[in-house]
Structure 1
Amino acid sequence: MGRADERRARQRGGRRAAPRNRPSRTEAPASRNESVSPADTATGTAPAGGRAAARRGAKKGGAKAKGDKGRIRRLFTWKKMLGAFLGVVLLGVGAFVLLYLTTPIPDTANADAQLQSNVYKYSDGTILTRDGKLNRENVDLADVPKAVQRTFVAAENKSFYNDVGVDLKGTARGMLNTLMGKGAQGGSTITQQYVKNYYLTQEQTVTRKLKELVISLKLDREKSKDYILAGYINTSYYGRGAYGIQAAAQAYYRVDADKLTVPQGAYLAALLQAPSQYDWAVASDTGKRLVQQRWNYVLNNMVEEDWLGKAERDAMTFPVPKEPKAAPGQEGQVGYLMNAANSELERQLVEQGVAESRKEAEAMVGAGGWNITLNIDKKKQKALEQSVKDQLTSKLDKKKRSVDGDVQAGAVSVNPKTGAVVAMYGGVNYVEHYTNNATRTDYQPASTFKPVILAAALDQGAETQDGVEITADTMYDGTSKRPVVGSDIGFAPENEDDVDYGPVTVQTAMNKSINSVFAQLGVDVGMDKVLKTAADLGMDTEDLKAVPAQTLGTMGASPLQMAGVYATLDNHGKKVTPALIKSVENSRHAVQLADPIGEQVISREAADSVTSVLTGVVDDGTAKKSVRDNPLRKGQKVAGKTGTSDNNKSAWFTAYTPDLVTSVGLFGESAKAPHPQVPLTGATNGLTSDAGRVNGGGFPAQIWAAYTFGVSTKVTKFDLETDQGAAVQPSVTPSASPSQSAEPSEEPSTEAPTSSRPSTSQTPSQQPTTQEPSEEPTTEEPSEEPTTQEPSTEEPENPFDPQLSQQSNQ
């Protein structure tokens, strides 16, 4: 090959092939049958003929591979791919142009914008209430101060005055999320939100989103920004039944819209993101923190846009809204029930995809047209209200004792087999106390959390630090302020009244609510596992840290949540989510209510064992005065737990029969705004327990007993699949408990064992008996005065010697 030929070959990207039969310069000619010599084998060389055959085989395989690649390249050339992409784009553009031409701006508002009343009924179909004429009054934008107008722009859409009415990126993301079933993720402009609120619906479909996009583009071209902003602030839902800025200004600050200040306007603008969650009157600590953060966000955006001076902004303080006023017809328990039903319906609308967000769900419910039947049983509802009155509120006199005015009660009663909320007590009167005490989550459940710890231990098959399986008869050290072992975080909780118990079983620790035992028990199980079990049972643990202090029930919880937790235990470990709504109808929205009974979240044996243990709290523990000895009991089987929180700010009794679960909570809330939490100590002046405490075994247990035994029509027994706990054998107390005796109320006690208990101690290795307890409680009347029994100096059979165990006297 000449140099010119080689140059031309390189330019073509290849190399000119040598003649087929021409040997390589480095190879000697070889015949096809040439043999391989030993020398060739030793040196790893092959005869020329063999190498030629190998090259031909490789060329043949390479040619096939190149052929396949060539076909793929011809099929997916960049020209064809570009053409296909452009075709899809052109089709999309064409479809959008067609939609744009054929979609006019509606002449009238949608049905949701034409407000109607909601109807609420008892479970038997009789009317509970109608929510009446809804609160909406449109105002001209000129009647709203310019700076207040800008708070809404700063909150929702800073580019509002310059955009074309849509956020293409946000809308595309919203349509993609809809197709993928992920729900909403924001991104709408003020124009889009107004179009959705006023002209369209809240349904999650691609068609609706495309219509929203088209109408928003047209509206932005045909109408002024002031027209759109006025429509937005007049049609938005602000909570408290208020639609539009005028109604909101009155509902939250008792002023007309033209008198709103910038800080007040910023709060109303922040409120639109989550009206119920951000309503200061009912917001949790988290809700208050979030709305203040958003309020700051709004004002800071105004400074960035030069709508507000920095010095003026720095001088602004958060404008706490005024207390809400209930509408006529919502007196007594009616307002609590109505708003709790609305909240449950809104949650269902979001979970089922009928509404994109809680904000939109609230607007849909507030728009009216709903026929809502509750699970509330009229007889049980009346009985619960009467019980609270007889056992508590009739004994309070805030004129004589100021603390009596700080006592708030809440209660929820649930059918564990169906999940139906059959009765709810939200407070003395909705028009006097807006917050629903049955659903509020800002108070600690205290020792009513202890059964959750035991449930986790039994369900997980947990062991002590010494490798002993945890059961109702496992021995622990009940010494007050005993440091827990096995935790990176130091914790040494004090028992109530700083009582030392010495060696006790888990059963006894539950009966007497011994903090030190359950702190160690929680660490033995693993606090992460304890919190997971709590979540599985129905508590909100999302933001909780897995630390030993949680064993004292220091998180927030509501009577509604705790009723669900105990209902799941009563239902043998199958999840019960309390349901207030029985059925719901609406001509524009189809709602399929979720089944309140869910899957098995803990094993039946674990749930039944906890139930068995909790019968001991009633028959031989902190609830025996109010429940065990109640003349209305008539042999009814009961399992439950008392609770008194730190500094006596809350007191609880949550308990159940086989057919009914009821959680009662008392909360210390100052009668003076801003209503901080305060101790209950001293309420009713002498009608409380020792030291003036309002304990769970006092008023809460009394309310529970009067209600439950009053509505029970027959005596029932638990169907338990377990061989441990007080329900299947008498409680066991070590014969040498080095503790002083005290009467078991909510304060810890070491009362001497009754004659129904064996006097011999039991080690963890001994198996519980299956002896059926007596149908009647022990007849021995508890002493009203604490005894002064001296602790025994005998060495117990199972001594807790720190040198024998690294569990530090567990």
Structure 2
Amino acid sequence: MAVGYWSRVPPTDKDDTAAGAPEPAAAPQTTKRARRRKRILIVLAVLAVLLGGGLVTTVYYVDSVPTPSELELPESTTVYYADGRTPIAKLGAENRTIVPFDEMNDSAKKAIVAAEDRTFWTNEGIDFTGVLRAAWANVTGGQRQGASTITQQYARLAADLKGVTYSRKAREAAIAWKLDNKYSKEEILGFYLNTVPFGRGAYGIEAAAQTYFGKTVRRDAPAARQLTVSEAMVLCAMVKQPEANPDNPEGLPGYDPERSPLARQNSIDRWGYIRDGMVKLEYLSADEAANLEYPDNVKPIDRKAGQSGLERPTGLVVNHVLSELRQVEPFKDKPADYVRNGGFKIVTTIDKRVQDAAEAVADIRRDTAPEEVRGQPKNWQAALVAVEPGTGRVLGYYGGNDGTGADYAGWYYDENGKARGFGQHPPGSSFKVYDLAAAVGEKISVKQHFDSPDTKEFPASGRTKGSPSGPIRNAEQAACQPDCALWEATVASLNVTYFELTERLGVDKVIDMATRAGIDSMWANKKGDPRPQRIELRGHSGQQVAGHFSTEVGIGQYGVTVLDHANGMASFAAGGKRAGAHFVRSVEKGDDRLFEEKVEQTGLGLDREAINQLNWTLSQVKAAGLDNDWDSAGKTGTWQAGRSTTQNSHTWMVGYTGALAAAVWLGTTDGKPLRTRTGDYDVFGANGPAPIWRQFMRDATAALKLDPDEYRFEEPKFPGQTQPPSTPSTPRSTPPPQAPTSTAQRPAPSTPRPTCDEPPCASATPTRNPTPSRTPTPSRSPAR
């Protein structure tokens, strides 16, 4: 009888939650002859199934019997900062805490036997009649049988044997037989309770007690904290079907009472079945059973259970980490949860010092953000990415305050291969850095002069007075007009000059330079579709993709991501050498290193003089000046809102020192124009994102404790120049006077700004539901 074998369990503690259950009687003795007869039947059953299944050996199946600590069950993966010690997030659904059998109270021990195997304490580890039944069904073509003892169930878990097949039944029977010979019943039941899944990612009874009730099975815990018999019965009911059937989750929801009304009823019904079994096994008296109540304290389902840290801004980093790993071996083409549940240690490129500095300034709701952007309307949104020159390591990433929401700094592939993220925005004049780089690469000196009137027609590009888009106009004025050197036009951000420069170079060369520097994608409108589509630049020449873009590419009309723009700046900071932006440094499991970053540099085709001229010119931009003795270079950018001549939707500041590159975007979550708390629309790259960029660069370089003297820019030689530059030639010098910001001369664009609801710019599910930026068709909007 089952009751007799309960004597093999340690006596119930007086303070135990099962106190009051009758003390089991002594175990009846099974005669050696009877035991031998049963073993013969087991052998015959196993052989029958083996022969019926066409198997020829059981050596593999009985070779080893792993204990719970040896099982390769799903394990949590942890993502770390670059130091390899500080965690960013914990991933995966697995939650398991092993509790030795003799440290458990009796509640779950009794409930699980009543639920799953009422002859556990007397059987030989195998339901040999069930095995014979399966063998007979195999021979006769009858229905397959699936019932198993607790020992067989553990054997199945230990050997990862799934599905009701003849070979599985033979394997579990053979292992169960060996288990019963090698271990005591107490040990086997302990193995099982520490291993079996209970749903919600909980493996083992202790994890289940914590997950569903916030309690423990430890008998030395305070009585109020220990799992009760009634609660244990709810948990043991779930073993039958821990999760909803994915093919029919509504009709077969399982036994989690919080999943649905049907699941709750299933739980109540099976709870009653277990209660009746507890009475039959004399673990409960009839009166005790009658007084038991179904517990109403089951915790609600936590959809984020088993995971932590994803709600913070660095949760967006985790998205990029997983996306990156899915593209490389040994993680490519693996199941969706392979990384999350693989028990890996993932070390990212994110430097906590840099990340902290990024969040402090780019989260404009914080008191640590610059005064210019602090306390502004709720629809204001900033994004910031910092990249290490020469390595491509993303040191800091802020795409939004909610790591489970919208990503305004980039895009990534989710576990289904779908593009996610809101990170593309028209860069405006900040994109002119690539025109400038292409120009110096073609030996066009930054001191070369251009005709720079306020307005100019470009017939070859279709920008004439009679065209729908009209001529090109400057958004700013400069003292040098109408005859400006290229460096002066850069500082004043003159559209006329840069439109002419793009025509001279060719759209393909500008795109080539941007691609080599770090712009992997741009967004363009396609005929008949008002929504911009991502155009892959990486892996294509400028000539191959130039057809998607017009000359307006040179003044920043087409959307790019903050991540790509930051990588472009890092390439300039590294002396004209690009390293691909990436988030993962290494992946380990135990003692095995499974993946390690490969930093490879590619040249931009810029010699030392070209880089020096580029650095010098961008260092003259007033917004790029730092007050901490670092040589710095940068460029602002602004793109207008729709047809407005006075309102802007996208503002940028991008730049670098020799040690750090960063890009900052400031816009809105709903696509509306930027409007200050006082009702003004006077928001530009210089007074919005630039203060964020400067404060970040100061704070991050200070946190990294780097010496600015080791990262000085070199002076350009300006070959062929007989006169010195019209301003001092040192990067730290004061740039020439700039005309006051004015919007009065801006004409309206020819088309309204469309909205974007296609991936990757709108495929994520943000906490707020923004209308992401869209790239307009060729317009009259001056970039700034």
Per the normalisation by structure 2, the TM-score is 0.49
Question: As a proportion of its length, which structure holds more helix?
Answer: 1
Per the normalisation by structure 1, the TM-score is 0.48
Larger Rg: 1
Question: As a proportion of its length, which structure holds more strand?
Answer: 2
